[in-house]
Structure 1
């Protein structure tokens, strides 16, 4: 029976990227959250874009400690825009219900 012992040598096909900075971390979630927060300002009053950005920002806080500032700004922008969209939706529903009795006059 043969046993395989781990070695400290790296296989030749598993070379690291020579262009990558040493110790570089990915910042994909926090950048995506910030971009979706900015996009939700332009594409205002949607529910989907800020909700996705909010989830990505919360995930970025846990997974990417180096980009905490971008994640916090993404969370703030997405939460404000999601809250605004909810308030506008509720105001539109209340206005529609208030005008419902007048729809049958005429």
Structure 2
């Protein structure tokens, strides 16, 4: 029978790490904004007429540059694709407006 009244657990090697402890999980790198920007850049090739898809991808790409420095390449590609497709959609929209205004006098004949 033991007569010890000390209730705290004893650590025989308090200054050494526990060799039986599970290793800590590595911190997962966040690449969500970069991947989303790149995917929206690729989708905007097909859906660039909406203005919403390339604009959202452009915003996500800019946010990814600030928040995710390890996935800079994907963010830059997403920004480039979305900016080109947004610029093309704006030019097509302006061209359609000019053609529509040019044809307006013939609409009432």
TM-score normalized by the length of structure 1: 0.77
1:29-67 CA distances to partner (integer Å, 9 max, x unpaired)?
000000000001122322000000000000000000000
Cα shift readout 1:69-105 (whole Å, capped 9, x = no counterpart): 0000000000000001000000000000000011112
Say which of 19, 22, 42 aligns to 1:38: 42
SS at match of 2:30: coil
For the residue of structure 2 that corresponds to 1:24, the secondary structure is coil
**Residue equivalent to 1:54:** 58
- Computing the radius of gyration over CA atoms, which structure comes out larger, 1 or 2? 2
Displacement after TM superposition at 1:21 (Å): 6.0
**Deviation for aligned residue 1:23:** 3.8
2:97 aligned to 93, 98, 101, which one? 93
Aligned-partner Cα distance in 1 for 2:27–2:76: 23
Count of equivalent residues: 87
Q: Structure 1 unaligned segments of length 5 or more: list them.
A: 1-17
RMSD of aligned residue pairs (Cα, Å) = 1.6
Residues 1:77 and 2:67 aligned together: no
